[in-house]
Amino acid sequence: MKIINKHIIIFFSILGLIICIAVLFPQVRQMIMDFVIKIAHKEPSTQESWIKVFLSYAIGGIFFILFFDFCTITNSGRFLVRQVKQELKHCLSEIDFRSFAKPVLIISGIYLLGIITIVRANFLYIDDIARAVAGYRKWYPESRYISEFTSIFVNADTNMTDISPLPQLLAIFILAISSVLLVYVISNKKITLLRLIASIPLGLSPYFLSSLSFKFDAPYMALSILASIVPFLFITRNKAFIFSSILSLLVMCMTYQASSGIYLMIALMLCFMDWNYKRKPLKKIFYFFGTVCLSFCSAMLVFRLFLMKPLDINISTSTLPFKNIIIGILNNIKNYFTVINNDFGIIWKIGILLVTLFFIFKLTFQSKHRKPVSFIFSVLVTGTLLIFSYGIYYLLEEPSFRPSALLGFGVFLAIICIYIVSEYKKTAIIAVVLALNWCFFVFAFSYGNALADQKRYANFRIGLLLQDLSSLFPEKNKEDLFLQINNSIDYTPVIKNIAKNYPVIERLVPLQLEKENLFSYIYFHDYFNWGQFKSEVVPYSKDFKDYRNYNLPVVLNSYYHTIQSDGIHILITLK
């Protein structure tokens, strides 16, 4: 039987190598390209981009097959596989998973209560509009392959439908597990109610509230956080840790890359605590952090070379050129801090500043090193943790600063809050941590209600506009009508009031009817079933023509909007 299995493995390995090498030949590559184009009914952007894709897949396939052969055929490979399996089993046997049940239920209840107004708002959040109307997945172009395929099982169909709040409830459950595991890892396997409450920023920070607003994306964004924490369950066994790190980091990259800094933050925190309390020799600490860096770089390299697809729509995946990499990273760090500073109000800033200071002071006063040295390193580590929270986005030429891309900042706050309340008896300091978390918890209610209020106002404006358009164009013309929106509607007074103390609210709540927003157009005419015109949106049309230059006659002027048209082109100026 073993001989038969070995022959089967060799056969498929040789077959795979032949296929991969064949792809490298121009004639075969062109044939495959022509076939793919024929199936997809569309032309590739450039032949070079297709060549790069096929080359990366071919080389990746060759390396995978060679590694597979090493692990299954060679004695040393099989021995390595057995060692990894044994270490994984040993680490899992040391964990009492039953002890996680109650904490997961508690924090799930807290998170569920926190997003109840978001669920009640029933708001189609950005991408949700197109997914609900058209039923497509399209995570594949963003290299989020696990989201792409897992969504089929979550939705029980290849065609996406709105099954909310199920995805958000699933996201809450995944976040609850993530919080419990983060407490378990940071607090040396000691889980208490106070530490669980301190982890609230992980799931209810203003930035991750944006992720929880997505009816379709939420569970996969939450899964990226969980995948970044799981490897530290195997921290006691080196081979198991490396294997789980690479595998989990690839899962993170194929769900939501914005979580890429979480793994590094946890590793740095554990290393510094080992040094600060002299729990391990310096040599072992450096060895572990080297293992962390090696695992992280290996996973990122595999993803970048063989799995990541180039993307230039909405978000560019182009990395900084090598000659400008230092300046570019420093500029991105500056922009990251600026965005956070502009998003947060004075109350949050004071709370975060106090929590950060308490974190540094606790590290300093409980240190077993000289206090001045410990203080300096505590400040440096705190700053590095904050920088790590943005992950690999620093390496991009045009990184995304939309709220959901900044979820790492919430995890940063969760880490320092968990550490502060761990084995600390100072009531005043614990009260500051709880007060900050209470602010985030309360804001979640304001945010959900703001979504509902903005939805009410947007639907009101759209209803008025569609009524006027249906009067002006009661029957479908033989020729297509082309529509373009100028300006946008404003935020409601409710949101403007919230923005006085919490400026981030205006970045969290989409307008749903605005210029240069493709999803606004989809919501406006597809979701409300007004389908007799074609929209022309600035960022999505190469041959965009500004209708404001057409001098179109005014056919209707009202308090809320002005409509200009020549019978074919329609320009709507929102007031």
Q: Is the pLDDT of residue 471 over 90?
A: no
- Asked whether residue 142 falls in the same domain as residue 217, the answer is yes
- Shared domain for 214 and 117, answered yes or no, is yes
Residue 3 is predicted with a pLDDT of: 46
Q: Is there a single domain that holds both residue 126 and residue 265?
A: yes
Residue that finishes a domain, picked among 390, 424, 458: 424
Each residue's pLDDT tens digit, 304-342: 877 777 665 555 567 788 888 899 999 999 999 999 999
* pLDDT tens digits, one per residue of 506-520: 999 998 888 777 777
- Asked if residue 80 belongs to a domain, the reply is no
Q: Are residues 130 and 266 in the same domain?
A: yes
CB-CB neighbours of 472 under 10 Å: 13
Same-domain pairing of 135 and 25: no
Whose CA is closest to 285, among 297, 302, 298, 273? Answer: 273
pLDDT number for residue 430: 84
Residues 12 and 106 in one domain: no
Domain boundary among 424, 458, 483: 424
Helix intervals (H) in 216-369? 218-229, 238-253, 262-276, 282-302, 325-343, 346-365
Report the alpha-carbon distance of residue 291 to residue 285 in Å, rounded. 10
Distance CA 364, CA 379 (A): 9
Distance CA 289, CA 245 (A): 12
pLDDT tens digits, residue range 189-200?
A: 899 999 999 999
- pLDDT in the model for residue 341: 94
Is residue 438 domain-resident? Answer: no
CB 326 within 8 A of CB 490: no
Mean pLDDT confidence for 441-464: 94
pLDDT at 292 over 70: yes
457 found inside a domain:
yes
For residue range 229-287, list pLDDT tens digits in order: 999 999 989 999 999 999 999 999 999 999 999 999 999 999 999 999 989 899 999 99
CA atoms within 13 A on the CB side of 484: 21
355 in a structural domain? yes
The helix/strand/coil state of 335 is helix
Provide the b/e sequence for 423-434 (b: ≥16 CB within 10 Å). Answer: eeeeeebbebbb
Label residue 533 left, alpha or beta by phi (over 0 means left) and psi (-120 to 50 means alpha): beta
Banded pLDDT at 210 (limits 50, 70, 90): very high
Residues 517 and 487 in one domain: yes
Kindly state the average pLDDT of the residues 520-530: 79
380 in a structural domain: yes
What's the confidence (pLDDT) of residue 160? 87
Query: Is 192 found in the same domain as 328?
Result: yes
Cβ neighbours for 288, distance < 8 A, ≥ 6 positions apart: 235, 267, 270, 271, 274, 280
Residue 443 in any domain: the answer is: no
Tell which wins on pLDDT, 532 or 464.
464
| pLDDT grade for 40, boundaries at 50, 70 and 90 | very low
Inform me whether the pLDDT recorded for 19 exceeds 80.
no
Distance CA 229, CA 240 (A): 14
Mark whether 109 and 12 lie in a shared domain: no
User: Total domain count for the chain?
Assistant: 3
The boundaries of the domain holding residue 57 are 2-73
In a domain, 430, yes or no: no
Segment among 1-15, 231-245, 484-498 with least mean pLDDT: 1-15
Whole-structure pTM value: 0.87
Q: What is the pLDDT of residue 457?
A: 94
Residue 340 structure tokens: 């956070």
Residues 522, 388, single domain; the answer is no
Shared domain for 53 and 145, answered yes or no, is: no
CA distances from 176 to 109, 171, 202, 240, 257 (A): 9, 9, 9, 24, 20
User: 385 in a domain, yes or no?
Assistant: yes
Domain check: are 130 and 251 in the same one? yes
In sequence order, what are the beta bridge partners of 483? 535, 570
CA-closest candidate to residue 502, choices 123, 175, 207, 214 = 207
Residues 6+ apart with CB under 8 A from 410: 201, 202, 203, 204, 205, 206, 207, 208
Please say which residue of 424, 459, 484 terminates a domain: 424
